[in-house]
Amino acid sequence: MSIPAMIVFHFDSALELTMDGIEHELFDIEEMESLLEGCAQQSDYAGHEYMWRALKRMLRQHDGENVVGFTPESRGPDVKH
């Protein structure tokens, strides 16, 4: 197996585990956010920080929560408030 294939496999696994954890309520979302934010803050490289925070954003995107930071009034009628 090549190194690029291993990177893709492991990242895909992280995505799947995160989504399964959310869907089946296998972990506390706030605790996971805190863990991922800690990893982002300890990152030596901007790319690593970005990836940790991308996983963190996934935790709130699953149910239409406000991941961008806009007020409910500015988000439009298609988003539940």
**Average pLDDT of the residues of the chain:** 84
Radius of gyration for the chain, computed over Cα atoms and rounded to the nearest angstrom: 15
Q: Pick the most confident of 19-28, 38-47, 60-69.
A: 38-47
Q: Determine the Cα–Cα distance for residues 65 and 53; give it in Å rounded to an integer.
A: 16
Banded pLDDT at 1 (limits 50, 70, 90): confident
Among 11, 19, 12, which residue's Cα sits nearest to residue 48? 11
Average pLDDT over residues 46-70: 78
The pLDDT of residue 61 is 78
Say which residue, 51 or 77, is predicted with more confidence. 51
